[in-house]
Each structure stands twice: as structure tokens, then as C-alpha cells.
Chain A
């Protein structure tokens, strides 16, 4: 078992943080890499990109939004309990280099994945402009943490309940008009990553996105995670999860992410029936 040593609820309990004991993974993990978790015997294998690692404590941290059957199951796990299975670190680490000014754009729980990448970029001496957003103020996560590692932080909410009223992409446009930016990193909903990539394209700004396709093994064995990048098939678990946003076929990715939509509903319902007989 992989024990949960710390658990926090964020965004009104819709987002959960788990710090999990896994010394071997913690020693190896680098920003941008992910783990695959399975809660129990009947559980599904769920990939989550690590939000943090602590080699000394021998722990890794994941932050996830409760969206379906499996994350609902994860939410029930308390400190002292744990995941039956976890593997990692998987995927390539994020591409970190000193380029000058970088813009880091995060939406929803994507901010959790963006955080260690942003920190890495900052530590390398880049000037970091961060733009993070959520639907509403209560759903915003890690804004203090992002603030601490950014030279400039812009916060947006779709409903205007906090910070800029509107989308991260609006702020991005303004920033790009005013600043010379060498690199953009975007992590969040697929649609957000797609729009960020479209906005940076005319400026010729290298744009990295972190993808989250459906996975099973995470070791290149099934091909379920394949994404089309520059017309070529890539396995996100081996070649990614980070890719050049200007080359990713986001529409196809969105369609592939919908593959089990019906089953997800069915599964959630079956689970609810069990909980509330």
C-alpha cells in the first residue's frame, strides 16, 4: 500500500491534495512527470502528474479534481489509508531552460501540474509571468504558491468573483502585446491549451503543453495514450506528457478523451447506488 501522509481539501472540497509515501518514486521524480494510481482491487489505473515531490520525506504530492468514479473513490481515502498500487515516475520531465521571459498559463487543476514547472523555470533564472484561472473564486487553487514563485501573477475567474473577469487567454493576449516572451507553458483543460497555442502561434513563441490522454499501463505497452503531434503518432506516456502545443491535434485529443463518456456516467451511477442503497 502507498500510504497517504497528508490530505487537504481545496476549492470547496472539489479538489483534493494527497501527499503519498513513495520513497523510490520521490527520489527519481522530476517536474512534469506523472504517476499512475489505483485505489483498490477493482479500481481503474489513473494517471496524475505530480504537483510536488519531497525526496527527503520520501513522498510525492498529487492534486486532482473529483470528476468521476475513480476520483470520487480517491477522495474517500483518509490519512493513514492509501492506494493499493502506484507506479512512477513516468513520462519525460518538463523541458526546463533559461530563455528570458516565460509565461506560465494554468487553468483549473492544471495549476497543480504547472506549479513545479514554473518553480523550475524560476529557479533557472527566468522572468516568470504566471496567469492562472478558474471558473469562480472558490475553485482557484495554489494562487499563493504561484505568487511566491512568479515575478508577476495574474488571476482570472470566469465569473469575475476574483481577479480579472474573464479567461486566462484574454490576459495572455494583453501580456503578449506588452512583453517580449520567449517561452509559454500551458497546463489545463484541453480547450484552454488549444487556445493558448493558437494565441502564441502568430508570435512564434515556443509553447509547451502537458497532455492527459486516457492511459492504462503508462509504459508504452498499449498505445491507448497516442496523440497526433505534427502529424506523427506519439505515446504520451513515453514521449510526453509535454508536447509542442503548435503541433498537437487538440480536436482529436478531445474526441479521444470522450471515448468512455457513457461508461463514466454508468459507473458513477452504479457507485452511487452502492453508497446509498
Chain B
């Protein structure tokens, strides 16, 4: 809170009610409970309706923020969702998981002296209101072009391309390797942050618009890119995400009870292992859990562990609090739920028992040295500082890389030195004619909205290609 009351800010930012930490740490229900209509109208009334709104420039998909907030303020929620859907087909998702504090809200004029308008909360409200009340607001579909587009991967990048191109009159098929569409939204981000029902509802709207979603299709294996062209697709978008887990590469890492965050979260979210044995997939219920890393993924893993009954769940991070890459809100939620943080600590090896199960880690204490390439101070081990930390489950959440399964199957597709696809940042065009790419498989792990922004640009470029009378080969 600012010390002086800002001139225009009469009403304080409306706080979204949440489940109490002591209760929610043992259930998988969503943490924030959403605004009521009254709360939304009150929050919307704080917006200054700037003539040249700086917030819009912070949105990777250019939502007309003041316009939709204006509709909410007027109580016209139908119009609000229509305004959002003009630019964003996944608003209930974005309202929940976008880092608004570094995108739109950080630019809000109110934020200079007090607290910015809660743009994300309002987006979420409008989307939830529409879903619950069955309001449809997607722009009408343009007349069919007869062109066919294949989208590989059903994460936010792929879904955005699909939504944009179906609206422009093309035929769109999405191919997804998993048995459910949604990408990280479904397998990675936990239920308590993003209920899967909401993801499926937003995907169902695309389905209703005519997007054909084919799951269980591992492109590169079940079908190749060349075969898709042969089957009559005129253009292809690759949005396969950055699905390759990184490990620590230290001794003992294959002990039972040590797994990647991808595995842990996929079991919990996609496979619903938190409802075992009602669902058949098991998940280790560690009592003393160490999560390595301090990004959003690590927070999700630690908070999942607590909900699965851990007595202790610890974030073990080699740098200090300041360098943690996770969103402040996620760190805050984790702390409220009793997650502990062990900074300047790095495991050196894992310790196991006779049955090959992890029982602890030998760790080194670190100190911060000179800044490294990322601009953050490099952690250096302190000689002789080894100590043991007991644990019965370790989740490795130290980032991910480019999964080569698809990219290796495509001849002549240019990749960068880390294996990500080279694509034009303005258009998403790859080195291959008729092939675009976007999202994490181009940028490395980023955010939902950046993947959507990349999808939007690619869709525009693909549309131009498909309608520009260029010869398709």
C-alpha cells in the first residue's frame, strides 16, 4: 500500500478471496475463488479508461483491456467477454496463469502511485461468467477457404493458431501426442492453479467452432510431416513445447524416489494420480520431499507434494531468494502453505538404502560470486561445507530442454545449437516452406501468453500464405 492516498485511487484494489492456507494445503481445489459480480464491477470502476492505454502494449495478444473492463464496469458482462475473445480464445486460462504483474498490470497508470487494476482477475471473471452462464462470444467464422492446416501440439501456441485460423475460414486439425489436449496446461500446471475442467471447456469451444482435435498422434512417429503434406495439408504449425526433462547428472540420480518435475506433475495432473486408487496411476507420497529448483515448476511440485500428504516439502535452490525465477505470487502461495526454502544449497550426490530408494542428499553450501551470463550472481560451492539432508522423495525441477523426437524426424529443419527450432520472431516461419513454429519449442520454456503471442503471429503469417495465391508445394 502506498503511504499517501493517490488522487484517483479512491477504492483499494479488490482482493480476490482465496481458500485459507491451512485448508487448501490438503486439497486440490483451486486456491483463488474468483470475484463475485459486485467485486468485479467495483474493481473495474478503478480503471481510469486511459485514452492511450499503456497496459495494452504489455499484452502479447493485444487485448483491448480498457474496453473489456469498461463493459464489466457497466455490468455488461456479455460484451466484456466478446471484447476479450476478439483477441484471446483462452481467457479463463490466461486470467489464471499469466504473469500480469510483469506484462499489463506493471504498465497500469494506477500502479505508479498505488496498486494497478487487477486486469488478470477481471479477465478471469469475464471468462468464468461466460462459461458458467453459457454465453458465447467468439467472432463469427469467415467463409471457408478450402485450405487445410495441420497444427502439431495442443498447448497454448497450437490452440491459438487453431482458433485464429478456423475463424479465418481454414480447415484445422490439431495433432496431439498425449491422450488429452492442452499441453502443459493439462499435464504440467496443477489443478489447484488451473482446474482441468476449465482447460477442457476452452478447448471444447474450439472443437465446437470446427477445429478437429486428434489425440494419440505422435507426429514424427504415427505420421510424419511429409505424410501430412501428402494427405493434403497446405500449411503446418509446430508447437510441440519444450518437453525434455533436465536432470542434475550427479551420482545416485536413478534411485527410486527421484523423478523429474515432468514425471511428477504428469502423474498428478494428466493422470490424476492424486485420486489414486480411483485413478489407476500411482504417485509416490513422500513424507519428506525435496524439490530442486526455484521456478514456477518447482513451486507447483512442492505445493503438490504438500497436498499429497508430505510432512515437509522443501525448495532446495543453489542461489538466493532474490534470484528465484518463480512469480512472486507463486512463492507467496507456497510460503503460506508451509513450503520451506533452503537457499544457497546444491546437492552433490543422492544417498540410497539397500533397496535402492532415496533416503537423502549430500549437499554443498554455496555463496554468490561474480554475475554470470544471465546477469545473476553465480553460485560457487563453499569448500568443505558438505552436509546431509534427509528426504524420501526428490523432484528435479531444474528446467527443460528441446525434445528431439519430432525435430529429428524432419529433414532440413534448421535448429539452433540447443535444439530449438529456428523461426522468424515476426512470422514464426521456419527454414521449411509451408512450416511454421512457435511457443516453447522455439524460445525454450517461457509462458503461456508468449506461446499464444507466437501462435498469433504465426497464424497471421500462415493466413497470408494460404490466401496470398502463392503456389503451394
Closest to B279 in A: A42
Could you give 6 example pairs across A and B, Cβ below 8 Å? A42-B279, A221-B403, A223-B259, A255-B256, A263-B276, A267-B282
- B16 at interface by CB-CB < 8 Å: no
Beyond A89-B221, A223-B260, A224-B263, 10 additional pairs, beta carbon < 8 A: A44-B280, A70-B280, A217-B178, A220-B405, A223-B247, A259-B257, A263-B282, A266-B276, A267-B277, A267-B280
Contacts of B404 in A (CB 8 A): 220
Q: Number of A residues whose C-beta is below 8 Å from B?
A: 44
- A84 at interface by CB-CB < 8 Å: yes
Q: Mark B243-287, 1 if CB is under 8 A from A, else 0.
A: 111010000011011011011001100011000111111101000
Contacts of A154 in B (CB 8 A): none
Instruction: Find out whether the CB atom of B256 lies under 8 angstroms from the CB atom of A220.
Output: no
Instruction: Specify which of A224, A251, A252, A266 is in contact with B277 (CB 8 Å cutoff).
Output: A266
Instruction: Specify which of A24, A43, A233, A259 is in contact with B280 (CB 8 Å cutoff).
Output: A43
Contacts of B277 in A (CB 8 A): 69, 263, 266-267, 270-271
- A122 at interface by CB-CB < 8 Å: no
Known: A222-B245, A222-B266, A256-B356. A85 touches B256 (CB 8 A): no
Instruction: Find out whether the CB atom of A85 lies under 8 angstroms from the CB atom of B179.
Output: yes
Closest to B281 in A: A44
B-side residues, CB < 8 A to A, are 177-179, 215-218, 221-223, 243-245, 247, 253-254, 256-257, 259-260, 262-263, 266-267, 271-272, 276-282, 284, 355-357, 403-405
- A139 at interface by CB-CB < 8 Å: no
A-side residues, CB < 8 A to B, are 24-25, 28, 38, 42-45, 69-70, 73, 84-90, 216-217, 219-224, 226-228, 233, 238, 251-252, 255-256, 258-260, 263-264, 266-267, 270-271
Task: Output the residue of A45, A73, A219, A267 with the most chain B CB within 10 A.
Answer: A219
Contacts of B223 in A (CB 8 A): 24
Bound-state CA distance A146–B472 (Å) is 50
Bound-state CA distance A227–B254 (Å) is 8
Shortest CB distance A86–B (Å): 6
Shortest CB distance B119–A (Å): 33
Instruction: Specify which of A44, A85, A221, A226 is in contact with B216 (CB 8 Å cutoff).
Output: A85
Instruction: Find out whether the CB atom of B405 lies under 8 angstroms from the CB atom of A255.
Output: no
Instruction: Find out whether the CB atom of B177 lies under 8 angstroms from the CB atom of A258.
Output: no
Contacts of A43 in B (CB 8 A): 280
Nearest first, the 5 closest Cβ-Cβ pairs linking A and B are A255-B356, A263-B282, A222-B263, A85-B179, A44-B280
Contacts of B179 in A (CB 8 A): 38, 45, 84-85, 87
Bound-state CA distance A38–B268 (Å) is 16
Bound-state CA distance A224–B404 (Å) is 17
Contacts of A45 in B (CB 8 A): 179, 271, 281
Known: A28-B222, A252-B254, A252-B356. A219 touches B282 (CB 8 A): no
Shortest CB distance B39–A (Å): 36
Contacts of A270 in B (CB 8 A): 277-278
Instruction: Find out whether the CB atom of B256 lies under 8 angstroms from the CB atom of A259.
Output: yes
Closest to B404 in A: A220
Instruction: Find out whether the CB atom of A216 lies under 8 angstroms from the CB atom of B266.
Output: yes
Shortest CB distance A116–B (Å): 18
Instruction: Find out whether the CB atom of B259 lies under 8 angstroms from the CB atom of A86.
Output: no
Known: A223-B245, A228-B254. A260 touches B282 (CB 8 A): yes
